[in-house]
Amino acid sequence: MKTLGLGLAATLIAGMVHAQTGAISVELNKFEPTDEGCQAYFLFGNTTGESFEGFEMSLAILDSEGVIDRLLTIDAAPLPAGRTTLKLFGIPGLDCGDVGSVLLHDLPSCRPQNGEETDCFPMLELSSRATAPLVQ
């Protein structure tokens, strides 16, 4: 009976791990100067098989010396399943050349469509093509 229970538990765990395949990729693609400051272009890819109706990122913008310049919360929702989407976010009052790195320090919201808030950090893949890295 114990062996059957352990086998069933292992099968259920394997099924849960399999169900959580795919990723949410977040790419800081580029910065572009504007009259108001700096425009950040992000690409979001969703290969999880689920659409997300909530996806909020809390970012710290660090200067070239690693000092936090400001905190921003950006709402990137919705993130449709199987698609890559482009989102633009302004950083007012900051020259693009002054951005040393962008730190993703929190996800205040990550909610699949018709689902509950979930921890999306294990699904994240971060990258940057911009002059500053996007780090976690």
Annotate 17-37 with DSSP letters as a single string: HHHT---EEEEEEEEEE-SSE
68 within some domain:
yes
CB-hemisphere CA count at 13 Å for 73?
7
Backbone angles phi, psi at 96, to 5 degrees: -55, -35
Decide: 107 and 58 in contact? Cβ < 8 Å.
Answer: yes
15 within some domain:
no
pLDDT in tens, the chain (136 residues): 554 444 444 444 443 433 458 999 999 999 999 999 999 999 999 999 999 999 999 999 999 999 999 999 999 999 999 999 999 999 999 999 999 999 999 999 999 999 999 999 999 999 999 999 999 9
- Nearest-5° Cα angle at 73, 19 to 116: 30
Alpha carbon distance 108, 5 (integer Å): 37
Alpha carbon distance 128, 30 (integer Å): 8
11 within some domain:
no
Structure tokens at 89: 């976010």
Domain of 87, in residue numbers: 22-135
The pLDDT score that the predictor gives to residue 21 is: 81
2 within some domain:
no
Q: How many domains does the chain have?
A: 1
The pLDDT score that the predictor gives to residue 16 is: 40
What's the pTM? 0.83
Q: Hey, how many other C-beta atoms are within 10 angstroms of the C-beta on 99?
A: 22
103 within some domain:
yes
10 within some domain:
no
17 within some domain:
no
The pLDDT score that the predictor gives to residue 10 is: 44
